[in-house]
Amino acid sequence: MMENRNKKYFAIFIMLFMFIVGYAQKSTIKYIDTKIKVDGKFNEQVWQQLPEYTGFYNYLPTDIGLAENQTSVKIFHNKEYLYVRAIYNDSTERTQVSTLKRDVSIAFSDSFVIILDTQNQEQNGYFFAVNSLGNQTDGLVGRSNSDYNLSFSWNTIWQSKAILNGTKKQYEIAIPLKALNFDASNGVFGVQFYVRDIKNNSWTIFKNVKRNYANLDLRFTEKFSIENLPKKSNSRFTVTPSVTTNFQKDVANNTDLNSFKPSLDVQYNVTSSLKLDATINPDFSQIDVDQQVTNLTRFALNFPEQRNFFLENADLFSNLGVFGVNPFYSRRIGASSAIKFGLKLSGNVSPKTRIGVLNVQTGKESGVVAQNFGVLVAEHQLTNNFATTGFIINRQETDKFDFKNDFNRVAGVNVNYKSNNNKWTGLLNYGKSFNDAISGDNSFYNASVYFNKRGLNFNTSVRKLGKNYITDVGFTPRLYNYDAINNVTIREGYLQTSSGVEYEKFYEKSKSINSVRFFNYGLNNYFDENGKLTQSQHSLNSAVFFKDLSAVYYVVNYDIVDLKYGFDPLGNGNALTPDKYNFGILKVGYNSANNQKLRYRINIQKGTYYGGKRTTAGAYLNYQMLPFANLELTYDVNKIDLNQLGKETFHLTRFTGQVFFNNRLNWTTYVQHNTQRDNFNVNTRLQWEYRPLSYIYLVLTDNFNDHIKRQNWGFSFKMNYRFDF
């Protein structure tokens, strides 16, 4: 008993000592005029004279106390590079990674991660990660309403090296300052470090963050003062020419199409915090294919942007609305005809003010007129608690250099609120649409409140769209109602109220249970323009999370729909007639632990669907033959019986196979079978990064119908070369 008590007092003393030391040590990124060789060995003298930052906290599977396996970090800059040295003191010499492909999530690999909020405004930042076998991942962190999102599509050239030194995992990193958006007059960076150890399924973090917040939440970064930050970043002038050649064979019509397309992308640092992007005749062909889904709703789904030109400061443009009502959805641009050129100026013009100016011109093609797309966005940090954004979006038909009267314009203003204790956030949106020959009922507003504390969160919101809130470059799927009986689309405004509450309890002392989500309830109500309730969506789920973070759960969804227009969910021509429908479904599932070579998720659902019956099952399998290969298989089946309207079984299968020859050369194959879209697709790609961010792609695509009859196939070669000046 006395021995246990002494251990307890000793642990308290150590924690208190580390707190005092950490509090007394001012977090500083020192300026030292020296260069180092990024080799992971830490042989340079400079590493011996720098302060050490340690005392990492637990984040998952527990967020209580200091981490058992500690990490130490040292950091400095020489006005050209930001250098970081990190040592993770593992309990084993073994390591585990999931991929050798660049820009893949590090969630399933031993990794070290840096988050940089270089403007210290808690709005957007940079993400740099290295796994224990040296694979790089970089991206952008951006504010999205009450949360933060991460995009891996953004890239820059930086150096890193990982070394396995016994039980020590050593990481050495050099990030060029010219790649970062900073302002010398605002010489404080928000910085966060965290470590992923997939072997024991843990996340540990430098600045303490509770698990109810994302580990990349910029509100919880450590504030580092930067000594002698350069007044101006070294000039960064990036030129990336590329060529793409395609061969497409339309088997059904017995036609061939050959094309050769040169392209040019340029990025220039106007200042250290303001960037100019330009693209001429860009090739925006998707090297990665969109993941197919089974859509049983009445409305369209959206997919993420992956095109480089739109990614720098992308959160400025993509957060102009709310989920389901976004006035700017960049994938609309270039969807109907090819982009001829584009210009974008984005970044900070002062520490508290960020702007975005975008202009893209598309060409005239058969049956499609030329269009010009313009966006102007300005974001300003009013106080520590309030930020506001104003925007104007324009889509207008053009004839050479003349603008025609066919246009769509959207203007609006947003206000974000965050409390000092980070528990409360709020959002106000107001927008207005302007169209030729259409006026009135053209406004949108939204008011949302979010509360988040450890174990409990809730939200509520109300939003209204007028039927003429038309956003040609946006995504407002619920505004458009397709009538499958009369084959027409009706634009109709609506009022939506939403609310949700979640309660989760954590069991730190339990040997088997990590946490229990007792309930997570959400409600969405939709009213038409006359105030009549047209749909009420209820969702309830609970889950038990075990110590290895595997989980068993259930979900109940229940809908009350006053269907106003014909809906053909089976796609067989037999549409549901307007009527009132009540239906629901129960889903039960299990997710395995993420740190196993074989990971899997299974679920089964059974219930009703628009007066009929629906049975669904799904499975996900991932087998890691690492570091050589990663195999993944998903399968979903939806069996729907609508009685006299017919019955259908939709199958959706996706296989992904990745073979890693090294960190620069990999081969990826996708096989997708979607019976709802009558499509069997094969996409296989050899990707070689022959120098940093310079690639050669060889891509073969093949499309068949449900009867495995070839519809079309094609072969593509793409090569780009990145010049950094």
Encode pLDDT of 673-691 as tens digits.
Answer: 998 888 899 999 999 999 9
User: Measured over all CA atoms, what is the biggest interatomic distance in the chain, rounded to whole angstroms?
Assistant: 88
Q: Has residue 17 got a pLDDT over 60?
A: no
Encode pLDDT of 210-268 as tens digits.
Answer: 999 999 999 999 999 999 988 765 667 889 999 999 898 888 888 888 989 899 999 89
Share of the chain above pLDDT 70, in %: 93
Reported as half-sphere exposure (CB side, CA atoms, 13 A), residue 626 has a value of 23
Helix (H) or strand (E) segment spanning residue 6: helix 2-24
- Alpha-carbon gap, residue 99 to 97, rounded angstroms: 6
- Picking from 387, 386, 438, 382, the residue whose alpha carbon sits closest to that of residue 410 is 438
- Alpha-carbon gap, residue 184 to 433, rounded angstroms: 39
**Beta carbons of 308 and 287 less than 8 angstroms apart:** no
Amino acid at site 503: Y
Q: Has residue 580 got a pLDDT over 70?
A: yes
- Picking from 291, 303, 297, 300, the residue whose alpha carbon sits closest to that of residue 638 is 297
Reported as half-sphere exposure (CB side, CA atoms, 13 A), residue 265 has a value of 22
Tokens of 555: 């979900």
Encode pLDDT of 416-430 as tens digits.
Answer: 999 999 999 999 999
List of residues 6+ apart from 342 with CB closer than 8 A: 277, 278, 279, 282, 309, 358, 359, 360, 361
Amino acid at site 153: S
Q: Is 606 helix (H, G, I), strand (E, B) or coil?
A: strand
List of residues 6+ apart from 353 with CB closer than 8 A: 378, 379, 380, 381
Tokens of 684: 């296989």
Q: How far, rounded to the nearest angstrom, does the alpha carbon of residue 263 sit from its chain's CA centroid?
A: 27
Q: Has residue 623 got a pLDDT over 90?
A: yes
Encode pLDDT of 264-315 as tens digits.
Answer: 999 898 887 888 999 998 765 545 555 666 676 776 766 667 677 787 777 8
- Alpha-carbon gap, residue 154 to 147, rounded angstroms: 19
Q: For position 191, what pLDDT does the model report? A: 97
Encode pLDDT of 354-401 as tens digits.
Answer: 999 999 999 998 888 999 999 999 999 999 899 999 999 999 999 888
Q: For position 290, what pLDDT does the model report? A: 57
Residue 335: Cβ-neighbour burial (10 angstroms; 0-12, 13-18, 19+): exposed
Q: How far, rounded to the nearest angstrom, does the alpha carbon of residue 354 sit from its chain's CA centroid?
A: 21
- Picking from 634, 695, 720, 38, the residue whose alpha carbon sits closest to that of residue 294 is 634
Q: For position 257, what pLDDT does the model report? A: 87
Tokens of 47: 């590493």
Q: For position 152, what pLDDT does the model report? A: 83
- Alpha-carbon gap, residue 685 to 696, rounded angstroms: 10
Q: Is 656 helix (H, G, I), strand (E, B) or coil?
A: strand
**In the predicted model, what is the mean pLDDT of residues 550-569?**
96
Q: For position 181, what pLDDT does the model report? A: 85
Q: Tokens 């019956």 belong to which residue? A: 613
Q: Is 516 helix (H, G, I), strand (E, B) or coil?
A: strand
- Alpha-carbon gap, residue 268 to 724, rounded angstroms: 10
Residue predicted with more confidence, 596 or 313 = 596
What does the buried/exposed string (b/e) look like for 135-154 if buried means 16 or more CB atoms within 10 Å of the residue's CB? bbbbbbbbbebbebbbbbbb
**In the predicted model, what is the mean pLDDT of residues 327-351?**
88
Please name every residue paired with 226 in a beta bridge, in sequence order, or none if there are none: 29
The secondary structure of residue 220, as a DSSP letter, is G
C-alpha dist (Å) from residue 633 to 36, 599, 619 = 44, 11, 8
pTM of the model: 0.85
Q: For position 313, what pLDDT does the model report? A: 76
Mean pLDDT of the chain: 90
Q: For position 287, what pLDDT does the model report? A: 52
- Alpha-carbon gap, residue 536 to 195, rounded angstroms: 42
**In the predicted model, what is the mean pLDDT of residues 52-67?**
96
Tokens of 453: 């504390």
- Alpha-carbon gap, residue 455 to 449, rounded angstroms: 18
Q: For position 135, what pLDDT does the model report? A: 94
Provide φ and ψ at 411, rounded to 5°.
Answer: -130, 150
Tokens of 172: 């050495």
Q: Tokens 């500083």 belong to which residue? A: 28
Q: Has residue 145 got a pLDDT over 80?
A: no
**Which range (55-64, 284-293, 548-557, 708-717) has the least confidence?**
284-293
**Which range (40-44, 335-339, 383-387) has the least confidence?**
335-339
Encode pLDDT of 197-210 as tens digits.
Answer: 999 999 999 999 99
Encode pLDDT of 465-494 as tens digits.
Answer: 999 999 999 999 999 999 999 999 999 999
3-state percent helix, strand, coil for the chain, nearest multiple of 5: 5, 55, 35
**Beta carbons of 657 and 634 less than 8 angstroms apart:** no
- Alpha-carbon gap, residue 65 to 62, rounded angstroms: 8
Q: How confident is the model at residue 2 (pLDDT cuts 50, 70, 90)?
A: very low
DSSP string of 260-290? EEEEEEEEEEEETTEEEEEEES-----SSPP
Q: Has residue 20 got a pLDDT over 60?
A: no
**Beta carbons of 112 and 171 less than 8 angstroms apart:** yes
- Alpha-carbon gap, residue 414 to 434, rounded angstroms: 18
Provide φ and ψ at 499, rounded to 5°.
Answer: -155, 155
**Strand ranges in 367-512 using DSSP code E only, listed in sequence order:** 370-381, 386-399, 402-418, 424-435, 443-453, 456-465, 480-483, 488-491, 494-506
Encode pLDDT of 87-116 as tens digits.
Answer: 999 999 999 999 898 888 899 999 999 999
Q: For position 24, what pLDDT does the model report? A: 43
The total of other beta-carbon atoms located within 10 Å of residue 362's CB is 22
